[in-house]
Chain A
Amino acid sequence: MTNTHTMTLAQYLKGVAEKQFSPTEVTQAIQAEISKVNTDLNIYLTENEQAVQETEAGSAQPLAGAAIAVKDNISTKGMRTTASSTVLDTFVPPYDATIMTKLKAAGMSIIGKTNLDAWAHGSSTETSQYGRTLNPRNPEHLPGGSSGGSAAAVAADTCIAAIGTETAGSIRQPAAWCGVVGLKPSYGRVSRSGVIAMASSTDSPGPITKTVEDAAILLNYMAGHDKYDGTTSPQSVPDYTQALGKSIKGLKVGLLYQDIAGLEVVNPHIQAAAKVLEELGAVVEPVAAMDPHYAISVYTVVQRGEVSSNLARFDGIRYGNDRSFFGDEAKRRIMLGTYTLSKGYADQYYTTAQKVRTAFMQDFQKLFSNYDVLISATSPSFAKKIGVSENAAMFGELEDMLLEPSSITGLPGINVPCFHDTTTNLFIGLNIMAPMWREDQVITVADAYEKATSWNTWRKV
């Protein structure tokens, strides 16, 4: 094999098992690829000097030493973790995030730490204090965010797979813009312990991968109750690879947000995707849902409030630099959250937002009493041009509008590519959502769709 770095995780695991190549040579090939592209694309903030050793050490484990890219807001013991903010410029966590402990035990190798919007605030990577990442599919464009570095790492074949985190779109939207798969698990399915908190009530770590199958494999090693995170669900975790290759015949699919303005570019492709699902035997119906514009507001208030609280600990005493190092975006969010939680405003903003959140939960409950899954566009557009997010206080929220209803309600969702514009080399993504704890359902539909279409660039190989 010549291009070992372009392998999917499933191909890698098969190849290692069949001794077609050694895990070490793949990790070295990936390192070589990173050296080639990283200066231009700015995907990795920190490369792991121990990656080859970790691959060797993990080669007998289930993940066989696979080179995994990790978003830089996930604490890695002994390896610099910045959340793309100079506040944490030299911060070396003294402990591992639970998902790192689990994935390390499963034999992964951390190939490096990927760029993100500083503190995961944004949908472009342009708020990173270490510079924006460029979209490997077309460097004139942004990779999306906040997990833009992880999505770009996958798209650029500079890892076997990646880990991201989503608060409202931060896995699925960059996956859509980079033409890769991004799975956001149910809130509480994957431990947040050690993940630098952004909005505590919606943060969900998840895999960003080349295929749906890869996402299912990685989720198996990430999901589950954690005694260090009281918000993780105690219910048992199924084997997500069992959800692959299943028929979706008779499945009821609700098609959302066809009447929302500004979706003219993406809607035809979403409708085409709906047709594909119908051809696979699903019953697809357009259905009205609560206006996502309200979700923007709920998310904005809740997220700003929780951010103002979660970022209060960065005072430069026990670690990191002092509060003057926060970038403008973080300062804006901290201050707005402080304002909406302050005396005289908390009821008007915070409590009201949490009530409207309940209304969204009730709306989804109603929808899921009629449909097994819901689909929509992931993002209203193709990847946008670089520089577009600057000085736009609400850029991310407007970009992630279609994902916010499911984020504030904790639902699982996935992005799969559903259109590839060969002129610009840019993608449109399909978002598939299921009820709480039904990641398996999301995987089944996404896998069926992916296998029935040729939009996934790794499936062509």
Chain B
Amino acid sequence: MPTKKLPVGILGGKCKVLIQENKIMPNTYELVCGLEIHAELKTASKMFCGCKNDPFHAPQPNTYTCPVCLGMPGALPVANKKAIEWTIKLGLALGCKINLFSKFDRKHYFYPDLPKSYQISQYDIPFCYDGVVETSEGPVRITRIHLEEDTGKLLHRSVNGAEVSLIDFNRSSVPLIEIVSEPDIKTASQAKEYAKKLRQIIRYLDIADCDMEQGGMRLEANTSLRVVGEQGLPKYKVEVKNINSFRFLEQAIEFEMQRQAKLLDAGESIPQETRGYNATEGKTFSQRAKEDAADYRYFPDPDLPPIRFTQAQIDGFTADLPELPAAKAARWGREYQIEARFAEPLTAEKDEAAVFETLFSQAQTQKLDCNKLASSVYNKRITWPTAESIEKTLMEFAAQFKTDTVDTSQLEQAVEKVLAENPDVIEKFKAGNMQVLGFMMGQTMRQLGGIKPDPQLVRETIGKILKTK
């Protein structure tokens, strides 16, 4: 388990090389980072053929294949309509503009898991472009979202003593979206937040499971450092791949910042390369030099007629979008007076949020305090509500926060008694020490024994009496 080592600190969005073995490093750098995120869409069938799209649950390797996804001679792709519509919906959810005219292109490279030796992707006209995801550390702009097909899966094994790679094409041609961000990300934590938000939105749209462990969602970070104050993009870019959790994303970026800062301080130039992330060691490692000569020879796929949407169709997709987490949290604030610090985490998962919605709506009818209820749920001080247990949660909450009616004079007597036993309180209060109020609250409640008065009333009474002293 890697721990955060701290020659590099994260300070207000800047990465600063602080002190390392009593040596002061000269430069202060900031991170320049963009993410490329792939997610497999959960359509019933594959992107360009009618094979079953369920690679993680296939009973055997190479059982969900056909001429098209095996790249048999003569086989032709036909595009999955739903995958295209889902891509556009995601774009709309991220505030993207939509290319009304779009097309698929062939991207050529040779690899055993790529059956046609070209991947059907989108080159110069992606379905979506120019979107944005808001994070607590600022907006991250989306450059583009395009739709392509996944490759087969390789397993590295030893068979009869020979070192081989095994290929399973069940995943071949599964619809895959790629979401490319601008290099707007300034910290590792922002990268993590951005990626998590994206996953949240994708799940809200119910278009992908984003199972990170299985590779249903894959993260790549393009990282470089620039001296604080400098403008423009650094001359190099290090691409970090095989990151399969949000935590590892954060750690990998932090590791890279540290590694690159050291090199830059030593006056070395950083090579353009692709690095992998080893989660066990908490380190990135060089995979291959990014060839300048990477030449994919894109051209429009002659087998796939282009796609054209009307603005009316796009407007229809927009109207169909479900309420997204940010909008839901804001509405909970208006309707139920729930603070953002509770509303945001509680809207994170679509299905859970639906349960909470019912919970809050019923609580409101029963005139219960929804914000207090949200706080209890968020802090797990109450039975976690499920569709079946809403009633139970509400009763539990009502019981917890039930108050007894207290006679005003009984309450005043209790306060006076505490003051009499603790004469220094008045002095402290007059000196402006407000902490004594908490002490008074506790002591007064104790004086009352088994009675549970409304804390607000107690607080008011104490305040009133103290002011008369």
Closest Cβ of chain A to B124, distance in Å, is 11
Closest Cβ of chain A to B260, distance in Å, is 28
Give Cα distance in the complex from A197 to B118, angstroms. 14
For residue A95, which residue of chain B has the nearest CB?
B67
* Contacting pair A192 B110 (CB below 8 A): no
**Interface 1/0 per residue, B69-88 and A, CB below 8 Å:** 01111111111000000000
**Interface 1/0 per residue, A299-334 and B, CB below 8 Å:** 000000110110011110111000000000000000
* Contacting pair A200 B302 (CB below 8 A): yes
For residue B111, which residue of chain A has the nearest CB?
A315
Closest Cβ of chain A to B35, distance in Å, is 26
**Interface 1/0 per residue, B358-392 and A, CB below 8 Å:** 00000000000000000000000000000000000
Closest Cβ of chain A to B268, distance in Å, is 29
* Contacting pair B72 A315 (CB below 8 A): no
- Is there a chain B Cβ closer than 8 Å to A338's Cβ? yes
A231 contacts which of B293, B298, B302 (Cβ < 8 Å)? B302
Give Cα distance in the complex from A313 to B71, angstroms. 7
* Contacting pair B72 A93 (CB below 8 A): yes
* Contacting pair B77 A230 (CB below 8 A): yes
- Is there a chain A Cβ closer than 8 Å to B413's Cβ? no
- Is there a chain B Cβ closer than 8 Å to A342's Cβ? yes
A317 contacts which of B78, B118, B167, B303 (Cβ < 8 Å)? B167
Which A residues lie within 8 Å of B108 (CB)? 309, 312, 341
- Is there a chain A Cβ closer than 8 Å to B115's Cβ? yes
Can you list 7 residue pairs at the A/B interface with Cβ under 8 Å? A93-B72, A94-B67, A197-B73, A230-B305, A318-B115, A341-B299, A346-B299
- Is there a chain A Cβ closer than 8 Å to B271's Cβ? no
* Contacting pair B74 A319 (CB below 8 A): no
* Contacting pair A306 B73 (CB below 8 A): no
- Is there a chain B Cβ closer than 8 Å to A63's Cβ? no
* Contacting pair B79 A230 (CB below 8 A): yes
For residue B66, which residue of chain A has the nearest CB?
A95
- Is there a chain A Cβ closer than 8 Å to B205's Cβ? no
Interface of B is mostly: loop
Interface of A is mostly: loop
User: Quick one: which of A272-311 are within 8 Å of B by CB?
Assistant: 305-306, 308-309
Which A residues lie within 8 Å of B293 (CB)? 343
Which A residues lie within 8 Å of B78 (CB)? 227-230
- Is there a chain A Cβ closer than 8 Å to B350's Cβ? no
- Is there a chain B Cβ closer than 8 Å to A201's Cβ? yes
Binding site for A on B (CB under 8 A): 66-67, 70-79, 106, 108, 110, 112, 115-118, 167, 293, 295, 297-299, 302-305
Give Cα distance in the complex from A306 to B76, angstroms. 14
* Contacting pair A200 B303 (CB below 8 A): yes
Which A residues lie within 8 Å of B117 (CB)? 312-313, 315
Which B residues lie within 8 Å of A228 (CB)? 75-76, 78
4 pairs of A and B residues whose beta carbons are closest in the complex: A312-B117, A201-B302, A341-B297, A200-B302
* Contacting pair A342 B295 (CB below 8 A): yes
- Is there a chain B Cβ closer than 8 Å to A194's Cβ? yes
Give Cα distance in the complex from A231 to B77, angstroms. 10
Closest Cβ of chain A to B164, distance in Å, is 12
Which B residues lie within 8 Å of A194 (CB)? 67, 74-75
Which A residues lie within 8 Å of B72 (CB)? 75, 93-95, 318-319
* Contacting pair B302 A317 (CB below 8 A): no
A312 contacts which of B75, B118, B167 (Cβ < 8 Å)? B118
Which B residues lie within 8 Å of A91 (CB)? 73
A313 contacts which of B76, B116, B297, B299 (Cβ < 8 Å)? B116
- Is there a chain B Cβ closer than 8 Å to A168's Cβ? no
Which B residues lie within 8 Å of A312 (CB)? 108, 110, 116-118
- Given the known inter-chain contacts A308-B297, A315-B112, please indicate yes or no for A193 contacting B73, CB distance below 8 A: no
Which A residues lie within 8 Å of B116 (CB)? 312-313
* Contacting pair B297 A192 (CB below 8 A): no
- Is there a chain B Cβ closer than 8 Å to A103's Cβ? no
Give Cα distance in the complex from A346 to B297, angstroms. 8
Give Cα distance in the complex from A141 to B78, angstroms. 42
* Contacting pair A318 B71 (CB below 8 A): yes
Give Cα distance in the complex from A192 to B75, angstroms. 8
* Contacting pair A230 B73 (CB below 8 A): no
Seed contacts A200-B303, A309-B118, A313-B71; 14 additional CB < 8 Å A-B pairs:
A91-B73, A93-B73, A97-B74, A193-B75, A196-B74, A230-B77, A231-B303, A309-B108, A312-B117, A312-B118, A314-B73, A317-B112, A341-B297, A341-B299
* Contacting pair A230 B67 (CB below 8 A): no
Which B residues lie within 8 Å of A314 (CB)? 73
Give Cα distance in the complex from A309 to B296, angstroms. 11
**Interface 1/0 per residue, A70-89 and B, CB below 8 Å:** 00001100000101000010
* Contacting pair B73 A88 (CB below 8 A): yes
- Given the known inter-chain contacts A94-B67, A230-B305, A312-B118, please indicate yes or no for A193 contacting B76, CB distance below 8 A: yes
For residue B71, which residue of chain A has the nearest CB?
A313
- Given the known inter-chain contacts A312-B116, A317-B167, please indicate yes or no for A195 contacting B74, CB distance below 8 A: yes
Give Cα distance in the complex from A93 to B70, angstroms. 12
Give Cα distance in the complex from A318 to B75, angstroms. 14
- Is there a chain B Cβ closer than 8 Å to A364's Cβ? no
Give Cα distance in the complex from A201 to B73, angstroms. 16
Give Cα distance in the complex from A196 to B72, angstroms. 9
* Contacting pair A306 B302 (CB below 8 A): yes
Closest Cβ of chain A to B81, distance in Å, is 11
Which A residues lie within 8 Å of B110 (CB)? 312, 315
Considering residues A88, A231, A309, A342, which has the most beta carbons from chain B within 10 angstroms of its beta carbon? Answer: A309
For residue A74, which residue of chain B has the nearest CB?
B74
- Given the known inter-chain contacts A83-B73, A230-B79, please indicate yes or no for A343 contacting B295, CB distance below 8 A: yes
For residue A97, which residue of chain B has the nearest CB?
B74
Which B residues lie within 8 Å of A419 (CB)? none
- Given the known inter-chain contacts A309-B106, A309-B118, please indicate yes or no for A192 contacting B299, CB distance below 8 A: no
Closest Cβ of chain B to A328, distance in Å, is 21
Closest Cβ of chain B to A253, distance in Å, is 32
- Is there a chain B Cβ closer than 8 Å to A427's Cβ? no
Give Cα distance in the complex from A146 to B299, angstroms. 26
B297 contacts which of A95, A196, A200, A342 (Cβ < 8 Å)? A342
- Is there a chain B Cβ closer than 8 Å to A350's Cβ? yes
Give Cα distance in the complex from A292 to B293, angstroms. 36
Which A residues lie within 8 Å of B297 (CB)? 308-309, 338, 341-342, 346
A318 contacts which of B70, B295, B302 (Cβ < 8 Å)? B70
For residue B113, which residue of chain A has the nearest CB?
A317
Which B residues lie within 8 Å of A196 (CB)? 73-74
Which B residues lie within 8 Å of A338 (CB)? 297
* Contacting pair A230 B76 (CB below 8 A): yes
* Contacting pair B299 A305 (CB below 8 A): yes
For residue B301, which residue of chain A has the nearest CB?
A200
**Interface 1/0 per residue, A339-366 and B, CB below 8 Å:** 0011100100010000000000000000
Give Cα distance in the complex from A312 to B114, angstroms. 10
Which B residues lie within 8 Å of A197 (CB)? 73-74, 76
